[in-house]
Structure 1
Amino acid sequence: MSLRIAFTASEAPIAQSANAALTAKYGDHAEQGADVIVALGGDGFMLQTLHRTQSNPAPVYGMNRGTVGFLMNEYNAAGLIERLNAAEEEVINPLSMKAVCQDGSEHKALAINEVSLLRAGPQAARLRISVDGRVRMAELVCDGALVATPAGSTAYNFSAHGPILPIGADVLAMTAMAAFRPRRWRGALLPKTAEVRFEVLDPDKRPVMAEADARAVQDVVTVDIRSEPSIAHRILFDPGHGLEERLIREQFV
């Protein structure tokens, strides 16, 4: 039985060219009812595809037509059916974010990589951090802070000097960006079940924005973050090149 493949591509010319070549070679099925979705682009497009198809049971197999391609497989138009049949599956759960703004509005979003808070003005942010309803840090003065999943730990989190987490670890990384007080605080590891709340202190003078995988919310006063186990993203990788291997390899370069 042949695989029913649905192709999707970013707007980049190199991705569009690959899409044309692959659909001509393998055909193109509607995403609903497809056995697998093949995403052509970079990591940003892969995240968009995973969010857009989260209610679709078909797994997503990415081929890199972008830059870094951490979530992608190497592009090759030949042997795709064999690669898909041999692919290894990783299942990841996103984070859920609930942000309340100064005007009282509430915004919800999901993040596969991380939820971040960033200063939105010239002065550093002042944040209070609670975990499972208990205040753990009364005041963090910083450019920002984030909570990252294992899958997202090599992205913004790693750039902010946060730890790389094994893909199977039931933990989340909390990392500060340019912490001023406490000056030496580098973050924390939290159980996956933890519920985190950031409260913005002095939001009028020191405004803060929140982002969930690049979906931005301005002028937040509280941001609640937790893992969302009810949503499972299925990602396919070539054998020996899955997320676990990539996370280990990333620590030795």
Structure 2
Amino acid sequence: MTATQEITRLALAVSDTPQALESAETMRDTQHFVSLEEADAVVVLGGDGFMLQTLHRMLDNGRVIPAYGINKGTVGFLMNRPRKGANLLSRVNRAKCFDVAPLAMTATTQDGETQHFRAINEVSLLRETRQTAKIEISIDDRVRIEELVSDGVLVATPAGSTAYNLSANGPILPLDSALIALTPISAFRPRHWRGAILPDRSRITFRVLEAEKRPVSVVADQRELRDVVSVELAIQHENSLGLLFDPGHALDERIVAEQFVF
């Protein structure tokens, strides 16, 4: 689907909240919906968490179409505002499409198991016990930090830079910046390291030090793997997702506005 192609067939993905279910019934009275396999775009009713679930579902199924979110949750950073009486199909066709590339993660556990996850917002490494984590950080096969002593560390995409990354005092990244954020979580050593902003072509490797004594888990959006010893990350441009936003409410504008919230 390109930006110039007209969208004629919509699918509908609905979270299980009463507000979303009620809105879905109203929409079905005026708009015909088809399956995800037949659709040109999907309308997502819910919050940011449900939007992430829907995007992951498309990634896992191997068919990715643009997603137009309508906020029926709380924050709704990835969603558009509800508008009563608006023609849904016209609204989707007027929307601006932004590409969001996921993080591809390969993680290895203490027992030698290897898992592959993808994350649209962020991948975070977190200590599992009261012991602080000790993590070696390499960028493009070069060790940059020999030992980060902290509660953990995360890597965020521009789309995820206003989520966990922001609460950990990481930078907000414009959507078209071609950057990723590397942000420590409650760093003890190096005490004054605030993180780094990296080109999105960078390959990041984390190696957990003293893994048995200081166990670490990894979370890719909402999927967790415990007791990891190494994690490798890279942006997967070939699997970019399309997020549709109303004119004047695009994600990059919201990213800029978020930096002036006190």
Asked whether the two chains share a fold, i.e. TM above 0.5, the reply is yes
The residue correspondences of 1:32-71 to structure 2 (distance < 5 A) are 32-54=37-59, 55-71=62-78
Correspondence for 1:139 among 124, 147, 153: 147
Segments of structure 2 that go 5 or more residues without pairing to the other structure are 1-5
Bigger drift between 139-148 and 18-27 goes to 18-27
Measure the CA separation in 2 of the matches of 1:193 and 1:57.
22
Q: What is the CA RMSD across the aligned residues, in angstroms?
A: 1.2
| Deviation readout 1:87-124 (Å, 9 max, x if unpaired) | 11001100011000000000110001111000011111
**Residues 122, 154 of structure 2: 8 Å contact kept:** yes
- State percent identity of aligned pairs: 49
Please state whether the residue corresponding to 1:53 is helix, strand or coil. Answer: helix
Measure the CA separation in 2 of the matches of 1:235 and 1:221.
34
- Number of aligned residues: 253
Correspondence for 1:73 among 65, 73, 80: 80
Measure the CA separation in 2 of the matches of 1:203 and 1:145.
15
Does residue 113 of the first structure (1) align with residue 113 of the second (2)?
no
Correspondence for 1:10 among 9, 12, 15: 15
**Residues 141, 181 of structure 1: 8 Å contact kept:** yes
**Residues 36, 58 of structure 1: 8 Å contact kept:** yes
Indicate how the Cα distance of structure 1 residues 104 and 205 shifts in structure 2: closer, same or farther if over 3 A, else same. Answer: same
TM-score of the pair, normalised by structure 2: 0.94
Q: State the 1:24 CA deviation.
A: 2.1
Q: State the 1:12 CA deviation.
A: 1.0
Measure the CA separation in 1 of the matches of 2:182 and 2:9.
40
Correspondence for 1:215 among 200, 223, 231: 223
Please state whether the residue corresponding to 2:239 is helix, strand or coil. Answer: coil
Aligned to 2:171: 163
Measure the CA separation in 2 of the matches of 1:140 and 1:200.
10
Bigger drift between 1-10 and 134-143 goes to 1-10
- Residue type of the alignment partner of 1:52: R
Measure the CA separation in 2 of the matches of 1:197 and 1:120.
19
Bigger drift between 231-240 and 26-35 goes to 26-35
**Residues 12, 44 of structure 2: 8 Å contact kept:** yes
| Deviation readout 1:13-45 (Å, 9 max, x if unpaired) | 111111111112212211112121000000000
Please state whether the residue corresponding to 1:230 is helix, strand or coil. Answer: helix
Bigger drift between 128-137 and 20-29 goes to 20-29
User: Deviation above 6 Å: which 4+ runs of structure 1?
Assistant: none
- Residue type of the alignment partner of 2:21: Q
Indicate how the Cα distance of structure 1 residues 167 and 35 shifts in structure 2: closer, same or farther if over 3 A, else same. Answer: same
Segments of structure 1 that go 5 or more residues without pairing to the other structure are none
